[in-house]
Amino acid sequence: MNDSPHTVLFVDDEENILHSLKRLLRKEGYQIQTATNGSDGLKILNNRDVHLVVTDQRMPGMSGTEFLAKVKEKYPEVIRIVLSGYTEVDSITESINKGHIYKFMLKPWNDQNLKLEIKQALEQYDLMQVNKTLHEKVIQKNEELKKINENLEMMVKERTLDFEIQNQALELSRAILEDLPMPILGISNEMIIVLINRNMEALLFNNESIEIGRKLSDYFSNDVEEKIIGALNEDGCSILTGYQISKKTYDLTFTPLSGRFRGKGVVMTLLTP
């Protein structure tokens, strides 16, 4: 899991023990650090990245469990093992229960067992680092998703506000159209009636009110349709004067739609001369 060499710190007040441990692990590829007391061990931890600490229990000044309690407090990710020839069950059990110690091993040790325990402890360290990295990535992704959701919520609010403004503008436009004092008619380029206002709806064509969806030719003569075609083709307004509707004379103005609706239809207005 970890391509870089692991660093193992051994702490023991007997230097011959430290030499034996270094000889035992010289072919394992670890970087070995040693200290003869807890204070020196803490100095090494302060200056180097250490992955595993293996300490004796009985040492002058600071016991192994006291030392590992400080290691846990300052360097909680470091794996901690007690290697002791004394079976101080109460103090070691308390440290294990408090999480100060990962494992307790007795001296004299079995070389193969000790190497295996160290290997497994370092694998545990690597696994913890992988889990930490994954956890950090999950937190990062959650933060990114949170920001995306916040941005989406803001966009939705802005879009909703835009829609509300557009709907209000559309409703206002319809109200204005309905209340215009002259008859208004909207005709598509297929000569279908698509819009009428209140004043246009009030007019009678052969005793019949005009209806949306009907053909223009159902109500108006061919010369009106010709004017509309001309307005569409010329993109300009045109006028037809003196047009009779229910014995009343009107001047008809034809205004083609513009912009993205250019060529799609014409607005016809009936004006009283």
> How much of the chain exceeds pLDDT 70, in percent?
91
- Segment 164-200, tens digit of pLDDT: 777 776 676 676 677 778 888 889 989 999 888 888 8
Q: Is 196 exposed, middle or buried (0-12, 13-18, 19+ CB in 10 A)?
A: buried
Tell me, yes or no, if the pTM score tops 0.75: no
Residue 148 is predicted with a pLDDT of: 82
* Measured distance CA(57)–CA(88) in Å, rounded: 9
pLDDT at residue 163 above 80? Answer: no
Strand pairing category for 184-188 and 79-84: unpaired
Q: Domains of the chain, with CATH numbers?
A: 7-135 (3.40.50.2300), 180-271 (3.30.450.20)
Confidence of residue 1 (pLDDT cuts 50, 70, 90): very low
Residue 104 is predicted with a pLDDT of: 84
Residue 80 is predicted with a pLDDT of: 94
